[in-house]
Structure 1
Amino acid sequence: MRHKKKMAAAALIVSILLGGCAMETKEQAKARLAAGGGKTGEASATVQTDAGKLTAVQFYVPSEKENNLSVIDVPTGKVVGTVKLSEAPSTVVFSSTMREAYAANMNSSTVSIINTQTLKVTKEVPVGPMPHGLALSPDNKTLYVAAVADQFIYLVDTKEGKEAGTIDLGTGAKTNYLSLFGDKLYVSDHENNKVYVVNVKTKQTVLTIPTGKTPRAVKVSDDGKKLFVPSAGDGTLEIYNTQDGKLESKIAVAAGATDVVIAEDGLSAVVTSMEGNAATFVDLATGKPIQTINDLAGARHISYNRQQTKAYVTLSGSNEVAVIDTQTRQIVERIKVGATPHGIQIKALPGIGGSC
């Protein structure tokens, strides 16, 4: 019996690898089998047809005009499910367990809490006007919500499913996108051309960084030492030192710089440009653009797959997600989603979908 189980497990791993999306590494498989455990993943055919599987590697894409969220299966590149949301959903984030997702609904001034297994909204949480950027604390207990129409960051208690206070950035401030690293929350202000650095423990602004025109989706490097700011009005990617807020470099990209993803080795990045309808590959070591991909209508937000071999870009102008091969820097696929796609976020448990 034990021999048959080992043979079945081996066959499962082979079928997964042939399906183009390894659901666990060989090392993980050996450790699991040595411990006498059962299977942790499903064959790719099952993942392709069951959007609620926790082991499924997917992208969630909110669509503003259709008030829903498209679930894209990464191995097949197909939309395998949808979630009905409130008005004008913009961005989405996942809990570390991938069991919950949180979507900001701009026109209804709410955050939807989504059960990723049932693909149903379990609760609608009222927050400030026009919620947009989201960041979730590492312990999954606090969701930080930027509201474009006022000066506050709204805190949502995810367990209770209700607002649990605010962080006031001061009269005239406008909150847009968020990036959380340790106890520091980085908040872009697209109207006042600033990034606020907030200590989430004290709820106080500890540093204000003047930026280029219209800063958008800010990101922090993996080591927390650099802040990346796409400046839409200047068509640049700006890089700041997080300790003192000083500008280290500025890289020209297409007009309307919107979002950025940084490679794990810290040597390269890809910047989307909504108004410029483009995505620009940049060399962070030399501070120069490498190549720009055009004809990406309303290129908005971007996310890597797990291996960073592909970059997925939401195209608000064509209702698609463009898939770019990061080695050849060519568009290899276009996936039709809901009208006016906005944000995009990958759903993948650690150790699952390692080759996706």
Structure 2
Amino acid sequence: MLTLVMMLGLGGALTGAGPALAAAGERLYVVDHIGQDVKVLDAATHAVLNTIPVTGYPESIAVSPNGTRAYVTSINDNDVAVIDTTSNSVLTTIPVGGGPDPLTISADGSRLYVVNQNDGTVSVVATATNTVTATLTGLSTPWWPALSPDDTRLYVSNVGDNTVKIFDTATNTLVSTLTGFNGPIDVGFSPNGATAYVANNGNNTLAVVNTATGTITATVPVAYGPWNLAVNPAGTAVYVVSQNSGAVTVVDTATNTTAATIAVGSYPQNLAFSLDGATAYTSNLGNDTVSVIDTATNTVTTTLPGFNQPYGIAFGPAPLPPAPTVTSVSPASGPTAGGTPVTITGTNLTGATAVTFGGTAATGITCTATSCTATAPAHPAGTVDVRVITPGGTSAVTAADQYTYLAPPADLDVDLSAQPHLGILVPYLTYTLTAHNTGPGAVASATLTATLPPGASATNLSAGCTTAATTVTCTYGAIPNGTSVNKTFRVPLHLLTLGPVTVTGLRTTSAPTDPNPANDAASATCTVLSIVLVTCP
């Protein structure tokens, strides 16, 4: 049975000189039983990229749907080796039952099902923790496990009593037993799960099973010694590997008839499809080769040498690189107009496809493994996260990735003028405190204060102004570049008020930054000769 759960949408155009070549970037994994290793091949070129040692005479392999892990059973060590496909190294081993061999993985990659042929059990493994969470019993010489496409049912072929036993994967309980087989060795499914296919080693047939009723609806003769089967991704054909015949029988699922018989290498064990189904590969234990089959013509186009009793075989996407991280941003601030060259430091930055500042894409991106340079885009004022996007993912948000957009400075020019209003009854001076924005940015807010002479007071204040003792405080809202806002107040005159009356205005706060303190203050002095005679500038 094909132990790889295929990822849809990762195929693509075929590359290479011949028709039977998989899409670039895919990986073919071949387990060498006697060689005690796993060879990793570039499926497009068939070049061996890595050889990963695995002890205990490894046999079967399953690759996670995302291509980051491969799981290999070691029949002598009674465990499953967990391979990191990025580093091409064994991360750990998972103890299971005796004589583990065939295994399969759930579509989400969260569970493994390992058949322990010496114990007659199936180990259920949680891949998040790499631990056995359940053991399925009640089997009779179990051989191959197969998950229904919806992952709700596990079918296990039992050579010992000619049955296929069905387990509920939610409860890990036996729910049904199918009969009528003869040496059932392997099980596979149509893509919609409506049909199961069982290879009968005892009478050289393929049984077609209606999964809704559990009944055999057809029996198709295949080459002598069926051992393994795989349904192509389209569900149009079942490929049955017969080890005694050195052949693969292709069964048309529309007619349940033999469409082709393909001679492959000696004593073939397993078959795997490329992710798009255009190519099939058989591991040939007897002559240490792998046969490459063009499924459009059902012919062997290439024979790959250099193995040492190849057994398990599986396909997977090239593993994604690790996700990028950002550890610093320099400079950490710049104008809202953008255009600032910024250096982003981190890890796994090679191949970055984008750098964003608060979700807005930067330009001029150049990256190495540990550093990116980019030009900051325009963005409103405030602090944003700088994130790097690579094929491995998007960098996580951290305090180290922050960049602050600074609004352009706004120079606030403070002006103060006075105007006398005279008379015997209520004489007073009217002061106008002006905040004039000379730019270049807009003023968001400002506070100006006016200091009165000792003993003076203020009345009739404009909105936004308050007074306390001899101080008038006025707050201003937004002031666009090139505009002014006036606030007024009165200083009453008394009979004894004589001489100069000086009031000073001062910018105390404003936002954004005021770049020019030279014009932050102004004063106006009126000379009082009497309550009916006052001069002001």
State the TM bucket, normalised to the shorter chain: 0.7 to 0.9
- Would the aligned equivalents of 1:195 and 1:211 in 2 still touch at CA under 8 Å? no
Match of 1:176 in 2: 143
Match of 1:101 in 2: 70
Secondary structure of the residue aligned to 1:118 is coil
* Structure 2 counterparts to residues 11-22 of structure 1, below 5 A: 20=16
Which of 57, 71, 80 pairs up with 1:88? Answer: 57
After superposition, the C-alpha distances for 1:217-275 in whole angstroms (9 at most, x for unaligned) are 21121111111111122111111111221001111110111222223443322211011
Between structure 1 and structure 2, the one with the greater Rg is: 2
* Letter matched to residue 97 of structure 1: N
Runs of 4+ in 1 over 4 A off after TM superposition: 16-21
After superposition, the C-alpha distances for 1:5-59 in whole angstroms (9 at most, x for unaligned) are xxxxxxxxxxx979549xxxxxxxxxxxxxxxxxxxxxx9xx7xxxxxxxx3111
* Letter matched to residue 141 of structure 2: K
After superposition, the C-alpha distances for 1:304-344 in whole angstroms (9 at most, x for unaligned) are 11232221111111111101112222211011243111121
What is the rounded CA distance, in whole Å, between the counterparts of 1:93 and 1:218 in structure 2? Answer: 15
* Structure 2 counterparts to residues 31-110 of structure 1, below 5 A: 56-110=25-79
* Change in 2 beyond 3 A, CA 1:350/1:124: closer
* Letter matched to residue 336 of structure 1: P
Do structure 1's residue 277 and structure 2's residue 246 form an aligned pair?
yes
* Change in 2 beyond 3 A, CA 1:295/1:268: closer
What is the rounded CA distance, in whole Å, between the counterparts of 1:258 and 1:110 in structure 2? Answer: 23
What is the rounded CA distance, in whole Å, between the counterparts of 2:298 and 2:112 in structure 1? Answer: 35
After superposition, the C-alpha distances for 1:195-236 in whole angstroms (9 at most, x for unaligned) are 110002222111111243222221121111111111122111
- Would the aligned equivalents of 2:55 and 2:74 in 1 still touch at CA under 8 Å? yes
* Structure 2 counterparts to residues 1-356 of structure 1, below 5 A: 20=16, 56-169=25-138, 173-181=140-148, 182-294=151-263, 296-348=265-317
Post-superposition shift, 1:142? 2.2
- Would the aligned equivalents of 1:94 and 1:100 in 2 still touch at CA under 8 Å? yes
Query: Higher relative CO (CA 8 A, sep ≥ 6), structure 1 or 2?
Result: 1
What is the rounded CA distance, in whole Å, between the counterparts of 1:178 and 1:18 in structure 2? Answer: 31
- Would the aligned equivalents of 2:191 and 2:234 in 1 still touch at CA under 8 Å? no
Post-superposition shift, 1:161? 2.1
What is the rounded CA distance, in whole Å, between the counterparts of 2:280 and 2:174 in structure 1? Answer: 33
After superposition, the C-alpha distances for 1:121-156 in whole angstroms (9 at most, x for unaligned) are 010111101111212233433221111112321122
- Would the aligned equivalents of 2:68 and 2:85 in 1 still touch at CA under 8 Å? yes
Secondary structure of the residue aligned to 1:343 is strand
What is the rounded CA distance, in whole Å, between the counterparts of 1:18 and 1:210 in structure 2? Answer: 42
What is the rounded CA distance, in whole Å, between the counterparts of 1:224 and 1:194 in structure 2? Answer: 19
* Letter matched to residue 180 of structure 1: L
* Number of corresponding residues: 302
* Letter matched to residue 304 of structure 2: I
- Would the aligned equivalents of 2:31 and 2:37 in 1 still touch at CA under 8 Å? yes
What is the rounded CA distance, in whole Å, between the counterparts of 2:26 and 2:254 in structure 1? Answer: 31
- Would the aligned equivalents of 2:61 and 2:314 in 1 still touch at CA under 8 Å? yes
Post-superposition shift, 1:87? 1.4
- Would the aligned equivalents of 1:79 and 1:337 in 2 still touch at CA under 8 Å? no
After superposition, the C-alpha distances for 1:78-121 in whole angstroms (9 at most, x for unaligned) are 22211111212111112222111111111211000000011100
What is the rounded CA distance, in whole Å, between the counterparts of 1:131 and 1:242 in structure 2? Answer: 27
Q: Identity of counterpart residues, as a percentage?
A: 26
- Would the aligned equivalents of 2:189 and 2:231 in 1 still touch at CA under 8 Å? no
- Would the aligned equivalents of 1:312 and 1:324 in 2 still touch at CA under 8 Å? yes
What is the rounded CA distance, in whole Å, between the counterparts of 1:62 and 1:350 in structure 2? Answer: 18
* Change in 2 beyond 3 A, CA 1:233/1:17: closer
- Would the aligned equivalents of 1:58 and 1:72 in 2 still touch at CA under 8 Å? yes
After superposition, the C-alpha distances for 1:159-182 in whole angstroms (9 at most, x for unaligned) are 222222312225xx2222111122
What is the rounded CA distance, in whole Å, between the counterparts of 1:241 and 1:157 in structure 2? Answer: 30
What is the rounded CA distance, in whole Å, between the counterparts of 2:318 and 2:49 in structure 1? Answer: 18
- Would the aligned equivalents of 2:224 and 2:242 in 1 still touch at CA under 8 Å? yes
Match of 1:24 in 2: none
- Would the aligned equivalents of 2:154 and 2:166 in 1 still touch at CA under 8 Å? yes
* Letter matched to residue 145 of structure 2: L
Gap regions ≥5 residues in structure 2: 1-11, 18-22, 321-537
* Letter matched to residue 325 of structure 1: D
**TM-score of the aligned structures, taking structure 1 as reference length:** 0.79
Secondary structure of the residue aligned to 1:114 is strand
Post-superposition shift, 1:194? 1.3
* Letter matched to residue 176 of structure 1: W
Match of 2:368 in 1: none
* Change in 2 beyond 3 A, CA 1:217/1:337: farther
- Would the aligned equivalents of 2:82 and 2:91 in 1 still touch at CA under 8 Å? yes
* Letter matched to residue 326 of structure 1: T
Q: Larger strand proportion, structure 1 or 2?
A: 2
* Change in 2 beyond 3 A, CA 1:249/1:85: same
What is the rounded CA distance, in whole Å, between the counterparts of 1:309 and 1:17 in structure 2? Answer: 10
* Letter matched to residue 116 of structure 2: A
Secondary structure of the residue aligned to 2:102 is strand
- Would the aligned equivalents of 1:131 and 1:146 in 2 still touch at CA under 8 Å? yes
